[in-house]
């Protein structure tokens, strides 16, 4: 081996990809894009659960999990958050949004279960506020309710 051969093997200096490398990179980008779009379509179908039977929803969920796993294993891409996990030095990593910019989040369609949970949380919060004296049963502040005016103010007015 000559010194010039050693110099080429030590680094990527002077490396120029050939047409096969470029074709493979293009293929990987196309596969990534199609998997990402397919994952988004499946997630949309899962949100609109009324159009599918339970077994169809289970199959869609399995397919979404499979695509998410393939995206993670092949590209270190988290499909749920639409972001890459970039390894900095083996110990530290950062999460980078897709295309360098965060995606516009479309609020997910709430399911019946989500709506019921939110309603239960609202009831618990209002019950807690009523027990602590901040709200009446009708949801008003005790100071807003007639008959509960500040008595010290009434005494000041009577004294004048």
Residues forming a β-bridge with 86: 94
* Reported pTM: 0.51
> pLDDT tens digits for 44-78?
888 887 888 999 999 999 999 999 999 999 888 88
Question: What pLDDT is recorded for position 119?
Answer: 93
Largest CA distance in the chain: 108
Residue with the two structure tokens 């990987």: 28
Total H helices, total E strands in the chain: 5, 3
Distance CA 3, CA 15 (A): 17
């Amino acid at each position: 081996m000559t010194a010039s051969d050693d110099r080429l093997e030590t680094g990527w200096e002077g490396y120029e990809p050939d047409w096969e490398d470029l074709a493979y990179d293009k293929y990987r980008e196309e596969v990534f894009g199609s998997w990402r779009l397919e994952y988004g379509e499946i997630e949309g179908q899962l949100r609109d659960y009324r159009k599918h039977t339970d077994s169809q929803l289970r199959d869609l969920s399995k397919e979404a999990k499979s695509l998410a796993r393939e995206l993670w294993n092949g590209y270190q891409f988290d499909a749920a958050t639409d972001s890459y996990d970039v390894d900095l030095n083996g110990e530290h990593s950062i999460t980078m949004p897709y295309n360098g910019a965060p995606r516009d989040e479309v609020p997910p369609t709430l399911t019946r279960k989500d709506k019921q949970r939110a309603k239960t949380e609202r009831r618990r919060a209002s019950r807690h506020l009523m027990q602590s004296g901040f709200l009446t049963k009708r949801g008003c502040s005790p100071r807003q309710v007639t008959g509960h005016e500040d008595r010290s103010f009434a005494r000041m007015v009577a004294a004048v």
